[in-house]
Amino acid sequence: MTTATPAGSTVSDPPGQSPKGSAAVERKSRFDVRERPELLLVPAVFVVLILVWQFLIPLFVDDYVLPVPSSIVDSLIQQLTDPLFWGHLEVTLRESLIGFLIGVGSAILLGTAISQVRLVEKTLMPYVVAFQTVPKVALAPLFVVWFGFGLTSKIVMAAVISFFPMLINVIEGLRAADADRIQMLTVFGASKLQIFRMVRLPSAMPFIFAGLDIGIVFAILGAVVGEFIGAKEGLGYLLLQTNYNFDIAGMFAVLVVLSVLGLLAHFLIRFAQRKIAFWAEESRVIAA
């Protein structure tokens, strides 16, 4: 304690602290292949797999059992140029999205009530836990009986199956708020509602997005399973049709479309997360 510092100085911190530096370094190496060899290795594995499948596997397996990638691409192109296919795609999309919104929306409402009101939690949690252990896919035949061969049974299936992962994440997320932050707001006189809005809800965002991410993929799964059981349209129905016709390449084409659908939904949610819950991402970068 011997150095005299001018009492009026308003410079930033003493040397050795450049908070923005580490983030800059992080960003620079993001697409550097030497830093991240997986950027090359992931596509390389894909190419090798496709080549083996195309040229090696036909030597041992008949084409009508496991069609080569080029036949699948042919079939895919044929599907994508058929307006009927787009009709099926639209149906499945509609079922998944409506089901997703209903499932996720009700999970947010119920999760909020359970996490904030002790009595609701004590009353409903046993039922939640009990119902959660039921394999939801097994309910699909029941829903078809109850709600018919149309959209409704698939929407219900998608909603039920995307409901639980979201519910658990909402409950956990709303409880994850840092006690120090709540105390800080309390000192400044915040009401319970203000604490919920200003700390609990933002703290839950990473959890909510995790729930959305799982939920959207589950919703597509639910819709397709529903279509398996009984439907006149949709990608699940198309999958069964190609199966009956022993059009394995056609089945693969539908599977490719379903996978791309799931991937797109996943990236859409991740993109929204990065925009809306940006801080979680950034603080992880800083912590690295």
Partner 1 sequence: MSLRAPGRQTSPATAAETDTDAWIRVAGLDKTYKARRSEPTVALQGIDLSVRRGEFVSVVGPSGCGKTTMLKILAGLVSRTAGDVQIAGNDVNGPLPEIGMVFQAATLLPWRTVRQNVLVPVEVQGLDKEKYGARADELLEMVGLGEFADSYPYELSGGMQQRAGICRALVHDPAVLLMDEPFGALDAMTREYMNVELLRIWQQSGKTVVLVTHSIPEAVFLSDRVVVLSARPGRIAEIVDVELDRPRDLSVMASDRAGVYVERIRRHFNATSVID
Pairwise CA distance, residues 245 & 239, whole Å: 10
- Residue 282 interacts with partner 1 (CB under 8 A)? yes
- Residue 199 interacts with partner 1 (CB under 8 A)? yes
Q: What phi and psi values does residue 9 have, to the nearest 5 degrees?
A: -70, 140
Burial of 57 (0-12, 13-18, 19+ CB in 10 A): middle
Residues 58, 141, 202, 230: which binds partner 1 (CB under 8 A)?
Answer: 202
- Residue 183 interacts with partner 1 (CB under 8 A)? yes
Nearest in space to 99 (alpha carbons), one of 219, 264, 232:
219
Residue whose CB is less far from partner 1, 7 or 47: 7
- Residue 193 interacts with partner 1 (CB under 8 A)? no
- Residue 4 interacts with partner 1 (CB under 8 A)? yes
Q: What is the smallest separation between the CB atom of 287 and partner 1, expressed in angstroms?
A: 9
- Residue 279 interacts with partner 1 (CB under 8 A)? yes
Residues 5, 34, 126, 288: which binds partner 1 (CB under 8 A)?
Answer: 5
Residue whose CB is less far from partner 1, 55 or 278: 278
E strand or H helix that includes residue 162: helix 151-175
- Which positions from 140 through 179 interact with partner 1, judged by CB under 8 A? 178
- Which positions from 211 through 270 interact with partner 1, judged by CB under 8 A? none
Which residues, at least 6 apart from 144, have a Cβ–Cβ distance to it below 8 Å? Answer: 153, 226, 229, 230
Residues 65, 81, 189, 232: which binds partner 1 (CB under 8 A)?
Answer: 189
Residues 127, 188, 232, 244: which binds partner 1 (CB under 8 A)?
Answer: 188
Nearest in space to 249 (alpha carbons), one of 110, 87, 75:
75
User: 116, 174 in Cβ contact below 8 A?
Assistant: yes
Residue whose CB is less far from partner 1, 11 or 138: 11
Residue whose CB is less far from partner 1, 7 or 130: 7
- Residue 8 interacts with partner 1 (CB under 8 A)? yes
Nearest in space to 206 (alpha carbons), one of 272, 266, 263, 129:
272
- Which positions from 20 through 79 interact with partner 1, judged by CB under 8 A? 20, 23
Residue whose CB is less far from partner 1, 113 or 201: 201
User: 161, 137 in Cβ contact below 8 A?
Assistant: yes
The percent of the chain in helix, strand and coil, each rounded to the nearest 5, is 80, 0, 20
Contact range with partner 1 by CB under 8 A, out of 92-100, 250-258, 265-273, 275-283: 275-283
CA distances in angstroms from 144 to 139, 151, 221, 228, listed in the order given: 9, 10, 15, 10
Binding site for partner 1 (CB under 8 A): 1-8, 10-14, 16-20, 23, 178, 180-181, 183-190, 194, 198-199, 202, 205, 277-280, 282-283, 286
